[in-house]
Amino acid sequence: MAMQDESVRAGTHIRNHMLNFINSFSLKCAVELGIPDVIHKHGGPITLEELVDALAINKAKAEHLGRLMNLLTRSGFFVAANDGYALGPPSCLLIKDHPFSLAPFVVEVTGPIFAGPWHHVSEWFHNDDPTAFQTAYGKTFWDSTSQDPEFNHNFNQAMARSSLHIMSLVKKYCREVFEGLDSLVDVGGGTGLVARAFADEFPDMKCTVLDLPHVVAGLEGTKNLVYVGGNMFEVIPPAQAAFLKSITHNWNDDDCVKILKKCKEAIPSRKNGGKVIILGMIVGSTQSKADDDDDDEELIQTQIFLDLQMMVNYDGRERKLKEWVKIFNDAGFTEYKTTQLGLMSLIQLFP
């Protein structure tokens, strides 16, 4: 009997993970329909009937919407309230006009371009392609962004919105890391939303955004913000500090060493305030012991998910602290300091 019970649990476990994609695509559907926006505009809990009317969907599918909302409520995105639905903390970050909205990020990362390579991972393990993305599409991720203007735009917009959310935490908890800097270069800074936030927050700081020419083409700077088209593997514009947000996980260890060496060339000595600031993930780092164990489990699982996403799409990885330290040492940095910010960590490197 015990063996039968174990078999039942095993079968349930398999089916649960086999169908886990439904969580992702249900979330994508909610964002595309604008459900968080409708509930926010409603100003309080909304009934299913009111939600159907506000979304202007086919009324014959009201029951089906209720089934979708049941899953999203159980997943913690919405809260059941007064025979209706209210926003939960995660869905507040999916309101499209929220200053740190992750809605574009959700739609892009759950879209077909990112999902496609996962259908080729087993094939990839048998071939010589660096990534499953190349197995699926015959070119690298970065070639795809340079050759497809729409994908390039959508990807950069999604990354920018994700960056603003993370940077809100940086400004709240690590502002002192950037105070007093006279200049900063945002390496791989995309369309510059993060650098603009720095430029606005620190008007005496000269900010430079370095990214590939097709990324920064046509973008206009301000009195303390300039855009430079270039390649971080070749030359990084000089500044007192080099900033890398979610860059290093896209690259293998050897490439990370090359990038950090170029950063080291771009900054002054530590005596003159030079440093590299990395916003990245340290695998295995969790919240404080006072936090809920379930939160730690979700954080660790998310770290593992992201590590595999880097493997499949970019030939990159998320790293444990000892793996980070080896890269730092190989690049010629003698000291580092870390501050955890939820899923991410802020790392200061000193030459």
Out of 40, 119, 214, 249, pick the active-site residue. 249
Rounded Cα gap, residues 106 and 226, in angstroms: 29
Nearest Cα to 348, choosing from 203, 240, 255, 251?
A: 240
| b/e code 310-349 from CB counts within 10 Å (16+ = b) | bbbbbbbbbbeeeebeebbeebebeebeeeebebbbbbbb
Whether the CB-CB separation of 191 and 160 falls below 8 Å is answered with yes
Rounded Cα gap, residues 66 and 158, in angstroms: 29
* Inter-CA distances, 307 with 260, 311, 318, 319, Å: 20, 6, 5, 8
Rounded Cα gap, residues 102 and 118, in angstroms: 23
**Is-catalytic flag, 40?**
no
Residues marked as catalytic = 249
